[in-house]
């Protein structure tokens, strides 16, 4: 199993799951947003291999299955070098699809709910084409992922490649980067440090948060599905919560002197985000099982240990 972005938040959990399932795992990462620490505990496993490599360059290895997770996923990271973000999504997809074609490997693309942009339908289902600003500050990620999906389906049609495309909705859990700007890690770190919790906008915008173990189970089920189940398929938790409610939940869980403060909403920030997971449930028997409070407790414990608070 080849996992690009394997030292990232999602990738490291996927490496762990596949090793536990008895697979040989080649973890590929350039450590732009991932970190060696995320997979350090796996290095002693004889079935695990770590390779520093940037997927915008071709990779020549042998593999049976490819999970293409390589791309910075938080606004802070992907906006730092937007040209490289687009290259990672597009050139990375081309290189991994080329590798899959040569080795006759199955390949899964970690796409994103951001392909729906600031959606005009709610909840979002796979047949919706999206409402995306193609020239905004989030476009490098949104449009990069949309183009990657195009490439996957063209390789499938043109070369009969076995593809799996998963659209990931907000995921959280241990090994999130503490400074990646994502709302769950932001709120937890600010609360643990006794800082005020920053909410952008009035907090009425909604998200749906899926715990990482549930998502990884969905990846594995999707990869094992029949040839004709290509996706795209939504994966996320359909339970919707406002950002203000999330902040209040974290604050109640952590305690401390933090207060909620409000700042201007960033450009193109979606007002609603909720997956319709009917397709995943009907075709894969998949649905998330871990409730938000359970997942947040595990995530708070991780950050408390990491920050030594």
Active-site positions read: 141
Burial class (CB in 10 A: 0-12, 13-18, 19+), 234: buried
With CA atoms as reference, report the closest residue to 170 among 156, 158, 180, 161: 180
CB-CB neighbours of 160 under 10 Å: 11
Tokens of 140: 């490098």
Contact 218, 280 (CB under 8 A): yes
Beta pairing, strands 240-242 & 206-208: antiparallel
- The CA distances from residue 253 to 194, 247, 294, in Å, are 13, 10, 11
Contact 243, 251 (CB under 8 A): no
- Nearest-angstrom CA–CA distance, 178 and 307: 9
With CA atoms as reference, report the closest residue to 110 among 56, 152, 50: 152
Contact 171, 211 (CB under 8 A): yes
């Amino acid at each position: 199993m080849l996992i690009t972005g394997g030292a990232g938040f999602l990738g490291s959990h996927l490496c762990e799951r596949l090793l536990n399932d008895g697979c040989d795992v080649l973890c590929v990462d350039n450590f732009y947003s991932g970190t060696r620490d995320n997979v350090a505990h796996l290095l002693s496993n004889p079935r695990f291999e770590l390779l520093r490599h940037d997927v915008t360059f071709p990779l020549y290895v042998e593999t049976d299955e490819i999970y293409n997770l390589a791309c910075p996923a938080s606004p802070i990271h992907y906006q730092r070098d937007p040209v490289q973000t687009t290259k990672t999504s597009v050139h990375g997809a081309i290189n991994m699809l080329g590798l899959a074609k040569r080795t006759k490997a199955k390949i899964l693309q970690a796409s994103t709910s951001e392909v729906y942009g600031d959606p005009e339908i709610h909840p979002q289902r796979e047949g919706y084409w999206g409402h995306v600003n193609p020239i905004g500050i989030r476009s490098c990620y949104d449009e990069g992922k949309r183009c990657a999906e195009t490439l996957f389906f063209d390789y499938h049609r043109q070369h009969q490649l076995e593809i799996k495309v998963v659209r990931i909705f907000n995921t959280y859990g241990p090994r999130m980067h503490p400074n990646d700007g994502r709302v769950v890690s932001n709120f937890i770190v600010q609360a643990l440090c006794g800082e005020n919790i920053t909410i952008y906008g009035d907090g009425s915008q909604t998200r749906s948060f899926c715990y990482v173990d549930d998502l990884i189970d969905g990846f594995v089920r999707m990869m094992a599905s029949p040839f004709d189940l290509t996706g795209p398929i939504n994966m996320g938790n359909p339970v919707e919560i406002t950002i203000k409610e999330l902040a209040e939940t974290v604050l109640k869980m952590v305690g401390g002197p933090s207060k909620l403060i409000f700042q201007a909403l960033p450009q193109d920030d979606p007002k609603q985000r909720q997956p319709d997971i009917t397709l995943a449930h009907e075709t894969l028997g998949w649905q998330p099982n871990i409730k938000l409070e359970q997942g947040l407790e595990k995530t708070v414990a991780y950050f408390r240990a990491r920050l030594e608070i």
